[in-house]
A = this chain, B = another copy of it.
Amino acid sequence: MKAIVYVALKPGVLDAQGKAIASALTDLGFVGVVGARQGKVIEIDLAETDVEAARARVHEMCDRLLVNTVIETYRVDIIA
């Protein structure tokens, strides 16, 4: 079973990478770039076979290691 975790900065938290991307795109001549934000995706292969158990386990992984919940939010998709 596979879990995909999408991690993004909370709204209001300064996203320096996102700002750098938006300004680099504009510098390269792309017009109409209003803004950009960068986050990360973590794909985890699990031996677990129960969807709900896997989801609970991955939420615990996020809270303990993968996500800084002070400044980041996350979403978990489980692919059976």
Contact = CB atoms under 8 A, between A and B. Distances in A.
A21 interface: yes
Given A39-B40, A40-B41, A46 B34 contact: yes
A75 to B, nearest CB: 11
Copies of the chain in the assembly: 2
A76 interface: no
Contacts of A64: 28
B24 A65 contact: yes
Nearest to A24: B65
A39 B22 CA distance: 19
A50 B40 CA distance: 27
27 contacts: A6-B41, A18-B42, A21-B42, A21-B44, A21-B65, A21-B66, A24-B65, A25-B61, A28-B65, A30-B60, A30-B61, A32-B47, A32-B48, A33-B44, A33-B46, A34-B46, A35-B44, A36-B44, A36-B45, A37-B42, A38-B40, A38-B41, A38-B43, A39-B41, A39-B42, A39-B43, A40-B40
